[in-house]
Amino acid sequence: MTMSPHEIQAYVLTYLEALDCQIMERSPAHVTVKLSPEADKALTNRPYYWGFVERVGVEPETMSFTFVFDPEAYQQITEAAEAKAKASQPVQTPPEAKPDAPKETILGRYFGITPSMPQLGPGRILREDVVYGSRRLQQIFAAAREGGAFVNLFEQAAKRQIRATSPAVYEPWLGVCFKVEFACDLKREELHFLGISLRSGEIIEKFGSKLSRRDLSPRLAENMHAQSPKISLADAGAALESHLTAHLSRLDYSWAEKAKERLQLELDVVDAYYEAVLREDMPETEVTEDETVRPVINRVRGILEPVPADVEMAAESTIQQTQDDVDPDQEKAKQAVIDREAMKLQYENRRTEMIWQYEPKVKVTAISSGMFHLR
């Protein structure tokens, strides 16, 4: 799955507008924005600065960015604007450039002269390409998930209700959006947005359709009364999980049986190959895994118990001291033991990879939830 530049821009703009960021300039290829304090905290990774601002209680200086969603189109727009500006200016001898006066900063105001920040753009507007897979887009995804993991919204009342003599009553609902992954060597995902009334226990599938037709706000409307729930959040969440589990149990899982068959075929191929390799004749010279061979085998295998450094150095020293006295056949047998252990480890890893890739599994994750007070 991927996203087009237009979809990325729509998503980023929705996030920025939700956090009350100031849009200074935009085009189909980019947007220049001054971040709000909340967005600055989420995206700029400046904990020490914000800790200082909050302790001192001064007005914060948030950062500005130019997010480019289509680098090629933005480059063409920039070059055309520069060419137009250059053509409109009269040719004249440029005056002697004077350095701009340094801008006063919060740290400079309280601690004197501070090192100047690199000027990465006009007015320190930083440019970043926000394309699918970029670090900044992944950061915005993570910030949106963290900030929107749980919401508390109220349905807004009509004007006639505000002027009514008696308040209207809200019914509390718990809504949870579940992501279901059906995975083997192939993968399919589904979203299930379920809602449950905390008064009656009624469960509604496709709860998002019910919400899309209503005007929701985080503020409680005037002349409205929120009822207290009869069902706890823990019991409501368990009821939604049971409902989803019952729905999943009724699905067709023939794909899982086919995935197991493909897994068995892959394991048969891997077993046949490595069993043939491991059946190869070993040298006739008998060798035991003494303290000279074992540290080397452990280093090749990377087994769970670590080899102490002093033991390994002692083993290597012993090998070096007796190198001239070792029989070639005995040395060949030791190397064969090491190679065999390495091949066994490779065999185990290959089987583990095949099982992880082909074994059918169903994973359910709650990606977002919220309390919705509806009329």
pLDDT tens for each residue of 276-298: 888 764 544 444 445 444 554 45
Token reading at 251: 């699905």
How confident is the model at residue 253, as a pLDDT?
94
Confidence of residue 225 (pLDDT cuts 50, 70, 90): confident
Mean pLDDT across the chain: 80
> E-assigned strands of 59-120?
64-68
240 vs 255: CA distance, rounded Å: 26
35-44, 108-117, 210-219: segment of lowest average pLDDT:
108-117
Beta strand 30-34 pairing with 125-129: unpaired
- Flag whether the pTM goes above 0.85: no
How confident is the model at residue 305, as a pLDDT?
46
Residues written for the chain: 375
- In whole angstroms, what separates CA 189 from the centre of its chain? 17
How confident is the model at residue 79, as a pLDDT?
84
Instruction: Read off φ and ψ for residue 240, nearest 5 degrees.
Output: -65, -40
Average pLDDT over residues 102-119: 52
Instruction: Read off φ and ψ for residue 288, nearest 5 degrees.
Output: -110, 155
Torsion of CA 16, 22, 27, 32, to 10 degrees: -90
How confident is the model at residue 118, as a pLDDT?
42
